[in-house]
A = this chain, B = another copy of it.
Amino acid sequence: MTSKNAPALQELAQDFREALRHSVYLVRRLDADGEPSAAQLSTLKMLLEDGVRVGEIARNLGVRVPSATEQVIKLERAGLARREADPDDSRAVRVVLTAQGRDAVESANRRRNAVMAGILESLTDDDRRALAAALPVIEKINSTLQN
């Protein structure tokens, strides 16, 4: 079976890329008005662990620091997060969720999960098993990002 591996790798790469390419549009479908955007939710989720620095957010999301700053400012204006001075390093900033921010993450997650669950409902048990088995692999691939 090892002889099948080299060609399969190229094909797998192609198919996986294709699947991700299409998934971008799926993810957009989960957005709703009056709810933090996907990018903001990504930032908010990071903040569930308290006192995160702007640079950490950027690194974790794979974006540049100014993009993270921008998101944090938007969250702050929306009353979902607060910027606090870092006691140890006064160059740094600690971003923390407000209670409202915590609620926003939770309710957005609930709603989005429900929509997704509705979609997954139409799959067969075998399909769901196959999907579940692949998710840790996909996360492993995604963690390649962190460099």
Contacts A12-B132, A15-B135, A116-B17 given; does A125 touch B5 at CB 8 Å: yes
Number of copies: 2
The answer to whether A141 has its CB under 8 Å from any CB of chain B is yes
Interface residues on A, range: 35 or more
A sample of 30 inter-chain contacts (CB < 8 A) reads: A5-B128, A8-B128, A9-B117, A10-B117, A12-B117, A12-B120, A13-B113, A14-B116, A15-B135, A16-B135, A17-B113, A18-B139, A19-B138, A19-B139, A21-B27, A21-B41, A21-B42, A22-B139, A23-B23, A25-B142, A26-B141, A26-B145, A119-B141, A122-B144, A123-B140, A127-B137, A128-B137, A130-B130, A131-B138, A133-B133
